[in-house]
Amino acid sequence: MTKLAIGASALSLLVIGPAWATAPSCQAQLSSIKGYMSEYPATVRRIGSTYNEAARMCKYGWRMEAEDLARSMRDTLAQSFSQSPTNMHASVRG
């Protein structure tokens, strides 16, 4: 039950578009996503390679491209966790 509440809270933070748009940098957005990935390791399979690409783009100053990938990762996570809670917990447990 607690994991469901935490997951729902994290999901609500991920899908809030305007809050992400005002982030000071692509690195701040990626840090948020990385924190979520560390809390839910199963998400690494879904977005790990995209995260690595976005981090590389951010490092080299390709901010817009990195933010597009961050948006894509948030969309992927939102779709994954919009499934039933049973499916979400099964996928999180691995």
Residue type, 2: T
Contact 37, 47 (CB under 8 A): yes
Q: Distance between CA 64 and CA 62 in Å, rounded?
A: 6
Domains of the chain: which residue ranges?
2-93
Tens of each residue's pLDDT in the chain, 94 residues: 556 555 555 555 555 444 444 445 888 989 989 988 888 888 888 899 999 999 999 999 999 999 999 999 988 888 877 764 554 444 444 4
Report residue 18 as tokens.
Answer: 């305007």
pTM over 0.95: no
